[in-house]
Amino acid sequence: MSVAGVLFLLYDLLIAFSMQRHGCIGSRRVETAAKGNRMDIGIDIGGTFTDAVLRSGDGSMRSLKVPSTPDDPARAVGHALERLLGAAEAAGVRRFLHGTTVATNAILEGTASPVGIITTAGFADVIELGRTNRASNYDLLIRPQTPVALVPPERRMEVVERIGADGTVWEPLDEAGVAEAARALEAGGAKAVAICFLFAFIDPTHERRAREIVLATCPGLAVSLSSEVDPAPREYERSCATAFDAALKPVMSSYLGRIEAILRDAGIGVPMGVMHSRGGLLGAAAARRRPIRLTLSGPSAAAIGAAALLREAGFLDGVSIDVGGTSADVAVIRGGAPALRVDGMIGTFPVRVPTADVLAVAAGGGSIAWIDDAGGLRVGPRSAGADPGPACYRRGGTRPTVLDASVVLGLVDPARFAAGQLALDSAAAAAAIEREVAGPLGLGVREAAVAIHRVINATMAEAVRAVTVARGVDPRELPLVPAGGGGGLHAHAIADDLGQTRIVVPAAPGVLAAMGLLDAPLEHDAARGFGRVLDEIPTADLRATIDALADETRTAMAAEGADVAAAEMALTASASYVGQGHSLEVPFPTEAPDPAGAIRRGFIDLHRATFGHAREAPVRLVSLRAVLRLRSEPLALRPVAATNAARTAREAVLESVAQTISVVPRGALAPGEILPGPAIVEQDDTTLVVPAGWRVTTHPAHLLMERVAGRRA
């Protein structure tokens, strides 16, 4: 061993000894969160499992997974709390943080509340016309990529009003027409109203007055304004975002109310924090006011957790893949934080709100394997979900899934799945694969299971390419973070496909999204639209807008009882060259004496870095956004507790070869130990597959590092 290797090992042992001494490994003291008398709880709802993490005042952690309850996701939160908290511990809870896919699922599944639109006369069909683009040029039966079903023609109302592109009032608002439209929408079954007037992002006066009229006329309707939801040009995108925000208000208000009732019944008296799409937290009241911000809530939490893990492991950049039961969520980490985007999509619909740059693909442990009409093997997008689940669950599911293939291949121990809470039936898994895949393709059951893994691995690798290679980023330079219950099963295959040489595995991969909630900052943002040439905007107007946005965010944060003085303010400008249809997000200093100059310089530099060229030409300011961020305590990632569990071996099929493979409990790995592949590392929430040519090193920062021992053919 080299001198550096010896020093590294000694450092590992020193760290481990210190942890043992202070109760971080193998100590019963760290299991008692009540002694810290203050606890943070993060609960994230996935399609198959709901993950929960509790961090006590001394930094120790508890975690668990419970089956999700698709009929009412809130019930799974109650189940998790019952198992996570002791009888006398509820009073010690300091923060309760929640990540959820309820908003996204309501849009994708069409279960959002009936919504109507009130818009400028002549523009009722904007939401149906969309951008006239097609996902498939030759599919004659393709469904329109616009939310027509959400807002059918009979629920689109026009009123006379008009504000010009320069902000002047061309036609005053027909207030009687607004009241009549509201009554018609309520009579037609609408539960919410989206108000989208032309150029309201420049002057929101008409929209605000229309809201007053709607609420006075029909107090039971929820109302959203485009000038608050998406204050920027492009009518179709603004209409979509506002319609979805309005449609989600009744759904999310009811859902958050059920969670709050569960907390009260459990004796937890603190307000709830909810993860929003940017990767920050909102109070429940703020989440109710603009629920469109809750789309991609859960995936953003996983990206936050991956960023914290990479920072502690010494990396600022990386890519994470969170493989759950229903989907795989891929995120790029840049500079120690998830990359952001403002042109998000949910399904085929544009939802233009700032979000963590997460790509979700239908590739999870519950993805169903099937044979298409041409006789080819397909995996997904359909999923067995939590109920009935894969065939091996023995809950009524009969279709073979990726998890069934993992059981047949010997990669997952049926007796240890989900910490032994759910014993899997390997015979049922084999029977389903034989009936649905192996028989039709003329393959053996194990051959069919290998094929299922190859298809799903290719799907996941392609998702990573979409957020890296397709955007000019070389994935070979980035470490991969596998998370979720299935991440460790597929990480090596994804990395091999992409040429990645480092994989950083969390201490608790299966609950990384829930852990990310604990690391997320409290965050409020506010935006204003401009749509004007930057040089034509007086400095006083820019400064006044910046101050107003800053005051709005401070007021919102103060309403949640936070320490506003300790929060950090960040400003961004959405800008483009005059004549460009799309814009770039340009950060600029909060105290810039010449904000217009700072925005112009930042835009030109960013344009050159993004597109390889820039020019001295008029710049258009599309909008300004202020983000106030109050950082949480750093997420101290603890090691897996040491265990005396024996190392065993079992037969498994790895890289198409049946072989006897060593199986190591993760807690049995000593600090600094190097475990060469082939091997399987097991823990309660996931299984890590280590093929030949890879090795596992226990990292001093409580992490498991997996590195290529040499380039593979």
> Quick one: tokens of 334?
């840049």
Q: Can you tell me the distance from the alpha carbon of 239 to that of 170, in angstroms, rounded to the nearest whole number? A: 21
Which residues, including other chains, have CB under 8 Å from residue 710's CB and lie 6 or more apart?
A: 693
CA distance 544 to 178: 31
Structure tokens at 441: 């393709």
Answer with the residue of higher pLDDT: 290 or 12.
290
pLDDT band of residue 640 (cuts 50, 70, 90) is: low
Q: What is the pLDDT of residue 672?
A: 86
pLDDT > 90? residue 426: yes
Closest CA to 669 of 691, 693, 642: 642
Phi-psi map region of 685: left, alpha, beta (phi>0 left; psi -120 to 50 alpha): alpha
How confident is residue 636, by pLDDT bands cut at 50, 70 and 90? low
Reported as a single tens digit per residue, the pLDDT across 591-634 is 888 999 999 999 999 999 888 898 989 999 999 999 999 988 76
Confidence of residue 30 (pLDDT cuts 50, 70, 90): very low
Q: pLDDT confidence of 375, banded at 50, 70, 90? A: very high
The pLDDT of 440-466, averaged and rounded, is: 96
273: Cβ contacts below 8 Å, ≥ 6 apart: 95, 96, 97, 98, 281, 282, 283, 284, 517, 522
pLDDT recorded at residue 35: 41
Lowest mean pLDDT across 56-60, 156-160, 436-440, 578-582: 56-60
| Distance (Å, whole) CA 513 – CA 321 | 11
Q: How far apart are CA 403 and CA 409, in angstroms?
A: 10
Contact 559, 551 (CB under 8 A): no
Report how far apart the first and last C-alpha atoms of the chain are (Å, whole number).
26
Whether 465 shows a pLDDT value over 90: the answer reads yes
Q: Is pLDDT above 60 for 33?
A: no
The per-residue pLDDT of the chain, averaged, comes to: 86
**In this predicted structure, what is the pLDDT of residue 485?**
87
Confidence of residue 709 (pLDDT cuts 50, 70, 90): low
Average pLDDT of the residues in 377-396: 88
Is the pLDDT assigned to residue 710 strictly greater than 70? no
* pLDDT exceeds cutoff 70 at 427: yes
Burial of 83 (0-12, 13-18, 19+ CB in 10 A): exposed
Examine the pLDDT at 463 and tell me if it is beyond 70: yes
Residue 641 confidence class, pLDDT cut points 50, 70, 90 = low
Region 463-471: mean pLDDT is 92
CB 179 within 8 A of CB 213: yes
For strands 377-383 and 367-371, give the pairing.
antiparallel
Q: What percent of the chain has pLDDT over 70?
A: 91
User: What are the percentages of helix, strand and coil residues in the chain, rounded to 5?
Assistant: 40, 25, 35
Q: What is the 3-state secondary structure (H, E, C) of 224-271?
A: EEHHHHCCCCCHHHHHHHHHHHHHHHHHHHHHHHHHHHHHHHCCCCCC
| Average pLDDT for 421-445 | 93
Distance (Å, whole) CA 222 – CA 243 = 11
Mean pLDDT along residues 249-257: 94
d(CA 147, CA 430): 41
Residue 370 confidence class, pLDDT cut points 50, 70, 90: very high
* pLDDT(32) > 60: no
pLDDT tens by residue, 439-450: 999 999 999 999
Residue 633: its pLDDT value, please? Answer: 75
Q: State residue 601's pLDDT score.
A: 94
148-203, pLDDT tens digit by residue?
888 999 999 999 999 998 889 999 999 999 999 999 999 999 999 999 999 999 99
d(CA 353, CA 343): 7
Q: Around Cβ 240, how many Cβ atoms within 10 Å?
A: 29
What is 195-226 written as a DSSP string? EE-TTTTT--HHHHHHHHHHHHH-TT-EEEEH
Lowest mean pLDDT among 55-59, 203-207, 421-425, 447-451: 55-59
Residue 487: the pLDDT is 93
Say what the pLDDT of residue 157 is.
97
| pLDDT 10s digits, 75-132 | 999 999 998 887 778 888 999 999 988 888 888 778 889 999 999 999 999 988 888 7
Domains of the chain with bracketed CATH: 1-99+296-367+457-520+638-713 (no CATH), 111-253 (3.40.1360), 368-455 (no CATH), 522-630 (3.30.1490)
- DSSP conformation letters of 435-470: IIIIHHHT--HHHHHHHHHHHHHHHHHHHHHHHTGG
- What pLDDT is stored for residue 179 in this prediction? 97
User: Residue 146: its pLDDT value, please?
Assistant: 72
pLDDT value of position 700: 60
Nearest to 405 by CA among 375, 361, 376, 443: 443
Residues 323-361 pLDDT 10s: 988 888 999 999 998 888 877 777 677 888 888 888 888
Percentage of the residues of the chain whose pLDDT score is greater than 90: 55
Q: Which of 73, 175, 181 is nearest to 124 (CA)?
A: 181
Residue 134 has pLDDT above 80, yes or no: no
619 φ, ψ to 5°? Answer: -110, 135
- Specify the amino acid at residue 535: D
Please determine, for residue 144, whether its predicted confidence score (pLDDT) is greater than 80: no
pLDDT tens-digit series, residues 525-539: 999 988 889 999 999
Q: What's the gap between Cα 639 and its chain centre? A: 25
Q: What is the DSSP letter of 401?
A: B
Q: What is the DSSP letter of 537?
A: S
Closest CA to 494 of 306, 226, 706: 706
